[in-house]
Structure 1
Amino acid sequence: MKKNSTLALFAAFIAFTTFSCSSDDKSEENTGGSDTGKTKYIITATTGATGVADYLLTADDVSTGSITTVGNGIEQDGTYRYYITAENNFFSLLYGQGNPGAVTTYNLNASGNLVKKSNFQAETVHVFAAVNSDILTVKVPRSGASIASMYKIDAKESLIKGEAQQDTKVLAGNGERAFFTWATQVGDKVYMPYMSIKGDGVDNFGTVNPDSTWVAVYNYPELKLQKVIKDNRTSYLGAYFTKGLFQDENGDAYGFSGAIATSNSVLVSKKPSAVVRIKKGTTEFDQSYFFNVEEKSGGYKISSTSYISNGKFLLLMYGNAGKNNGAVKLAVVDVYNQTFKWATNVPETLTSATSRYNITSEDGNSAIIGINTPEGNWIYTVNGTTGAATRGMKVEGGQITAIQKLKY
């Protein structure tokens, strides 16, 4: 029973939140027509139909009303799609199950309509992040060859403009292989947290190194490894397809660990789920800072994280199946003051949530998140200070998988 409970908990960490991800636009440039100063929201929703990924829906306001996939939106092809916004372009990446997949670029025209800009083929990747005016993507092997391939895509021109490689076994240096969880631009460098995994088809994501934290530092645009930042107060940052490192407005970087490392499908992390910090201008973990979120939450673990602003984050938390029924809850934290609050006015039962990569409200004080429940699917706004959630637009005809916005 103990093993089964642990397996269920780990599976929930991987499966609960939707894998359709998006990232905040890093540029003010408008490539979609005349600049009206207006913003339109892009909402992706899946009907669950075989062979169909998502529908792309657009709305001027997500705080009220309803929208539907029935007879509406732009249908995406393929089963799995992932999303990222950069240079005011919206990129839809097809996960090709190991094979190359289509990358389709959209933007808004002068009338605010979502239109296709380009379409090209790229490798199926596990990491994609906006860096400068590029999108950095990384294909990370879990078995066979140990070379991770990094691609730089010009976000304005939608063209691959460079590639670099990293031997993940050499990077790990411990008999296992490094598996990048995500990439984050920190200053003029790229910080790439990774987990250590056995790989090679034998307990692929298991490890004998569950309670260490690693961040590989690369220069950019050369993508040459400069250093690995290490710590052992918690486990790896982020998770598979999940960002775990964020830079704030002060230039400091905060890392979030779920402490969910396994071996032979059994949870083996001994350290708490926590937040660590790398101060601006340094390449070391700040030993004076440690935010024990698991303790503050009463035994819950971090599953995914979204940055709001000014040190405020929205967290999706999982409970221990044997301790608190494995409940799934939303919370807000202030990493500056190390305060923790459960979100209020949230549905009691969540089927899934778009909590991996959401957007911030226009006033910068709240996170906008899609919440799917057995009763229906809505877009909520969660205040980063109070934790109070406000229900907005209802999405009908499909579950919400991502939310983003573009200017036109």
Structure 2
Amino acid sequence: MKKFKFTLLAFMAAMMAISFTACSDDDPTPTPDPGINEGDYHFDLFVTVGKHGGMSSKNTTIVTSTSTLTADRGVITVEGVGSELGDYSMESISKGKYYYQIPGSADRFVKYQIKNNKIDVIAERPFKTNTYKVRAYTHAWIDDNTLVIISTNGDKDKVLYTKLKADDLTILDEGEVTIPAPTDWKKLTSSGILTYRKSDNKLYYFYYWKEKAGQTVASEQEPNFHAAIINPSTMKVEKDIISPVEGEMAGSAYGELMQDCVAYDEAGNLYLACFHEEASGLEKGMLLRIKAGETEFDTSYNGYSNADGKLMTVQYLGNNKALVYARNDNAPISDKAAAAGIKKPTVIDAFSHYYAIIDLTTGTKTRLSYNGKEIAYSGGRFSQRSVIFNDKAYIGVDTEEDANAIIYIYDIKTGTVEKGAEVEGKFYFDMIRVVEND
């Protein structure tokens, strides 16, 4: 059976900045907004060899680039092209032309570019006092040239931060984020989720305590998670709040290095993908909100009602709509999948995941469809599979029925869906990102 996982990481709105033609204040006819020129961007495709990659995998990863994902691109392959990532991980931070990450050697910060099918290192900076592990950190951009990295220490009982100047990776500041001490809990989740809310100039760090380090079940975790509200200038915690429901954040172990867990609407409302493990074992998805101008969770709100399983990602589309990637914890297991060793819909490669568009006011959920038919379940829990770019959502699916991965293109303004390019199924396609051209 094809074990194929396709991840799309959302390209941050800041890196899709629109250029405007300057005009004087008294100019009665300013130059119209020309919009985004799609020719200024390309897609980097990440595939692994022999087995799916991502989230601690050490399999060979190859990256290739393409200027389009429309149907006329045909079937994309990496044979004869692409570059191996080597010591670098596919889980990384991207902005503009560049990638930022901590490599497998876990000794430095690296900024690099994938150009002409080669890795071109732009800057490197050895760790100073604080040290970090590959994949186990979270991040936020305070501005276009200031990147904050946060993770727990080796003993999992402190929260560390490093503030970097993005152009040359100069370490501007580092230290510890002093969060309230626990009472009955001793260890922290690996990375948590960090986001910067521009409307109030605050960092929001979502985290929780556990009985022990490593993977735990709900009974071994603090029932409710926290949000530390941090002044980005001083990195001091100004307020620590607790979630109004029991559960944890999506992506708590890996930050947003592969999956988007936080979204903002036009008003500045903050949305966070979460889930709660019920007594039945169902990991019930939730979408919580902190309203613009407020620093407490909206206790009356759950934007993902009638959940049938775990909520992995959320991306804002506009007009009070969001695209989510979720799981049906009771999805059927086909005979073919069972014969290949997939016994439960909650395992990573089970074909139990789907895309849906939700109304953030009512919580109404509509499965993504093409030609009047719901798109089949996809495999791959650790998958983004979607990027919002220039009023379109590019959404990759890996179904049991299709030999190749298929990319569907959702027009945000009209709601129409067209079939786009495919990716050859003999490769394990894990991720795609949108990158500025050089």
Same fold (TM over 0.5): yes
> How far did residue 322 of structure 1 move?
8.6
Contact kept, 8 Å, 2:114 with 2:120, in 1: the verdict is yes
State whether structure 2 residue 99 is matched by structure 1 residue 91: yes
**Residue 5 of structure 1 aligns with which residue?**
none
Q: Which residue of 2 aligns with 1:45?
A: 47
Q: Provide the C-alpha distance between the structure 2 equivalents of 1:267 and 1:95, rounded to a whole number of angstroms.
A: 35
Change (3 A) 1:78 1:28: same
Q: Is structure 2 residue 81 aligned with structure 1 residue 69?
A: no
SS of residue paired to 1:26: helix
> Helix, strand or coil: the match of 1:232?
coil
Give me the whole-angstrom Cα distance separating, in 2, the residues matched to 1:399 and 1:137: 29
- Residues 126 and 250 of structure 1, relative CA distance in 2, 3 Å threshold: same
Gap change, CA 1:215 and 1:145, over 3 Å in 2: closer
**Greater CA drift, 53-62 or 155-164:** 155-164
Cross-structure match for 2:163: 152
Per-residue deviation at 1:251? 0.9
Task: In structure 1, give the amino acid aligned to 2:268.
Answer: G
Conservation of the 8 A alpha-carbon contact between 2:273 and 2:312: no
Contact 1:52 1:79 in 2 (8 A): no
The equivalent residue for 2:185 is 175
Higher Cα Rg, which structure: 2
Letter in 1 for 2:203: V
Distance 1:360 1:19, change over 3 A: closer
Structure 1 Cα separation of the partners of residues 6 and 138 of structure 2: 15
Contact in 2 for aligned 1:305/1:356 (Cα 8 Å)? no
TM-score by length of 2: 0.72
Q: Does the 8 A contact of 2:8 with 2:383 survive in 1?
A: no
8 A contact 1:306–1:357 mirrored in 2? no
Q: Which residue pairs with 1:9 in the alignment?
A: none
> Structure 1 residues 352 and 382, CA, compared in 2 at 3 Å: closer, same or farther?
farther
Q: What value does the CA root-mean-square deviation take over the aligned residues? A: 3.8
Q: Which amino acid aligns with 1:63?
A: T
2:407 paired residue number: 379
CA distance in 2, matches of 1:369, 1:244: 16
Q: Compared with structure 1, are the counterparts of its residues 163 and 304 closer, same or farther at alpha carbon in structure 2 (3 Å cutoff)?
A: same
The alpha-carbon distance between structure 1 residues 24 and 54, as it changes in their structure 2 partners (threshold 3 A), is farther
- Match of residue 341 from structure 2: none
Percent identity of equivalent pairs: 17
Find 2:202's aligned residue among 189, 193, 200: 189
Aligned match of 1:329: 354
Letter in 1 for 2:248: Y
- Measure how far apart 1:335 and its partner are: 0.9
Shift of 1:78: 3.3
In structure 1, C-alpha distance between the alignment counterparts of 2:302 and 2:317, rounded to whole Å:
20
Q: Does 1:59 align with 2:49?
A: no
- State the AA in 1 paired with 2:12: D
CA deviations on 1:231-290 (whole Å, 9 max, x unpaired) are 33352222332543322221111122121389xxx9497xx5322221112101123433
Q: Distance in 1 between matches of 2:119 and 2:407?
A: 23
Shift of 1:386: 8.3
Unmatched 5+ stretches in structure 2: 19-35, 52-56, 334-343, 346-351
Amino acid at match of 1:42: D
> What are the superposed Cα offsets for residues 25-68 of structure 1, whole Å, 9 maximum, x if unpaired?
524579xxxx9862222222222479554222221111222322
Q: CA deviation at 1:205?
A: 5.7
Q: How many residue pairs are counted as aligned between the two chains? A: 372
Structure with bigger strand share is 1
Amino acid at match of 1:344: S
Distance in structure 2 (CA, Å) of the matches to 1:93 and 1:309: 30
1:235–1:261 contact (8 Å) kept in structure 2 = no
For structure 1, the residue ranges without an aligned partner over 5 or more in a row are 1-14
Partner of 1:7: none
User: Which residue of the partner structure matches residue 120 of structure 2?
Assistant: 116
Whether 2:300 is the aligned partner of 1:305: answer: no
Residues 1:390 and 1:213: Cα distance change in structure 2 (over 3 Å): farther
Name the structure 2 match of 1:360: 388
Distance 1:89 1:287, change over 3 A: same
Q: CA deviation at 1:395?
A: 2.0
